[in-house]
Amino acid sequence: MGLNLTQKIIKSHLAFGDMVTGTEIAIKIDQTLTQDATGTMAYLQFEAMGIPKVKTELSVSYVDHNTLQSDFRNADDHIFLQTVAAKYGIHFSRPGNGICHQVHLERFGKPGKTLLGSDSHTPTNGGIGMLSIGAGGLDVAVAMAGQPFYLPMPKVVRVELKNRLQPWVSAKDIILHLLSLLSVKGGVNKIIEYGGEGVSTLSVPERATITNMGAELGATTSIFPSDEITRLFLKAQGRENDFVALCADQDATYDEILEIDLAKLEPLAACPHSPDNIQPVNNLNLKVDQVAIGSCTNSSYTDMKRVAEILKGKTIHPNVSLVISCGSRQVLEMLARDGALAELISAGARILESACGPCIGMGQAPKSGAVSLRTFNRNFEGRSGTKDALVYLVSPETAAASALTGKITDPRTLGLYIPVSLPKKYLLDDRLILSPFKTPTEVEVVRGPNIKPVPLGEPLLDQLRLPVVIKVGDNITTDHIMPAGAKILPLRSNIPAISEYVFNSIDPDFASRAKEVKQSLIVGGSNYGQGSSREHAALAPMYLGVKVVMAKSFARIHKANLINFGILPLEFLNPSDYDSLCLNDCLVFNNLKQSLQQGEVSLINERTGDEIKLKVNLSKRQLNIVTKGGLLAYTKAVSFSQNPRCL
């Protein structure tokens, strides 16, 4: 029996385990990427392991999140990242060079290789046939130290693409349609593999848009075949030698198969406040206050060029603020050289830095109660920086049409479709990507006063009495747990300071209450911790004394991050027990370590006397990590000279 594309790459990188769905495997990691919001902590963790040089084929540190330098803190992090990269064998993409996923796709991604990134949208590089997985920064640090990455062997879902898109319907509409079918938790512990005749009609940037937003499905990653379209893209980037043809065997099998007829799709929008709240654009007739085009999802040259063609010779609506952020310096300079940038400026667009910017709440917050159309990947409540803003996710075509009319507008009303061809040769200039020093001993790592040591977890105790310090509902995101934005992101390298903002948007008193009780427990609903890979959503609660999170179910990356920092994730055996718990209930665990080994934990609610049973959905290795107080302590306790199977 043949193998699918996912199985082929996993098999060639398998370091531990068997490719049996649901069992734990470990894969060798070829490349890593970090960004500055997660990278500073990841490199502090890497330093703590005492490894003199990264052991991957390639590791790249990007500065693309915290680029707004309102005081010294972000700038201090940037020089720390630059000097760490120089010392430990890491390439450094300077501020202004672009968003990590876009730049990596352009300059470094290779079909058939594995990529682990400390950002949930790392699967973007699945658009060129890489197995690209988002993870917490500590997992990436361990991979840079030469260790494999552990995960449950995912189910593989084939999405069969038929026919081709109609004019003015885009790749963004494909992934929004898939979100409407599967929901934000429909991809958990699954890899989405695309195939069918429709694949050959999609360019690499279009494929990357789709794999990028696979993160919103909760999927482990998404991947396209590496074919002639891939080869032409790599050739245009001056990297044809990196091309490898990869596809599924004809007799490959899948756990699930879905079919999407591209010809039947129409322009779609994700309505507030979830990427799976999908409506046809035609159903929406709302006045628009802000339009933002860019982010790692839709900031390629072809995206921006089409927007420029739509706006050419026109002026945006007087009541609309239009902001544009190109995905890379390459894109921005090419637009400048071919005149498209002038068309955007002439139409009234405000040009931002080639960085994440508004997508993570780093500037350009909309006005109170605004309707903001964004080509981004997430529209969680408050993520824009304005709590009562209504954020809709749309394609660049829909965004540009709406910027002209002042209301949400179907781009099919624009008339004849404007084709935009892929460049036969991209502008190649890597001067803002710095190579590591050849003499690392000469490099002094620079640490500003905001960079604090990595806090360590404590070994798990056998007896625990924990108060419920907060109870939250379904689909709680890492934005809810650990907010981003211009105020909080500069604190990413200072856990004592950033911990003051845990759950701040839901319960401003959470941090003070957690510190007062010293040790505590969180109760959550389904899909707890969906969204970004930010490990601070686990690290900061650990610092505040959270020992256990009980939930109906967990998002993949956040569950791994909880384990990495010694917080025990447990799932309700009977979901109705969730309803019986109240804030400040004290829950008593006895003989916890033995119960964990048996796969089921019981506790007593002191208020009611009720017994609550919980599932332990952890591997033996994960149990050892939690018991020792987290992955850093566990990794330091195990010699790197040992076989990876011992880790």
Residues designated as active site: 64-65, 119, 378, 532, 534
Q: What is the DSSP letter of 237?
A: T
Q: 269: helix, coil or strand?
A: strand
Give the integer Cα–Cα distance in Å for 593 and 232. Answer: 55
CA within 13 Å, CB half, 91? 19
**Do 166 and 263 meet the contact criterion of CB atoms below 8 Å apart?**
yes
Q: What is the DSSP letter of 454?
A: P
Cα angle, residue 598 at apex, residues 595 and 603 outer, rounded to 5°: 30
- DSSP for 28-74 reads ---EEEEEHHHHHHHHHHHHHTT-SS--SSEEEEE--SS---SSHHH
Q: How far apart, in Å, do the first and last CA atoms of the chain sit?
A: 32
Q: 127: helix, coil or strand?
A: helix
Residue 604, exposed/middle/buried by CB under 10 A (0-12, 13-18, 19+)?
A: middle
Q: How far, CA to CA in Å, does 471 sit from each of 52, 106, 482, 508, 550?
A: 43, 43, 15, 14, 10
Give the integer Cα–Cα distance in Å for 554 and 557. Answer: 9
Q: How far, CA to CA in Å, does 217 sit from each of 91, 185, 382, 475?
A: 31, 6, 20, 12
* Number of Cβ within a 10 Å radius of residue 164: 14
The beta-strand segments (E) located in 532-599 are: 546-551, 568-572, 586-589
Type of residue at 324: I
Give the integer Cα–Cα distance in Å for 452 and 181. Answer: 44
By DSSP bridging, strand 464-471 and strand 586-589 are antiparallel
How many residues does this entry show for the chain? 647
* Number of Cβ within a 10 Å radius of residue 621: 17
Give the integer Cα–Cα distance in Å for 326 and 102. Answer: 10
Does the CA dihedral 351-355-357-359 come out positive or negative? positive
Q: How far, CA to CA in Å, does 245 sit from each of 26, 115, 229, 370?
A: 24, 18, 10, 46
The beta-strand segments (E) located in 135-253 are: 149-152, 155-162, 190-195, 221-223
Give the integer Cα–Cα distance in Å for 211 and 200. Answer: 15
* Number of Cβ within a 10 Å radius of residue 639: 8
Give the integer Cα–Cα distance in Å for 77 and 80. Answer: 5
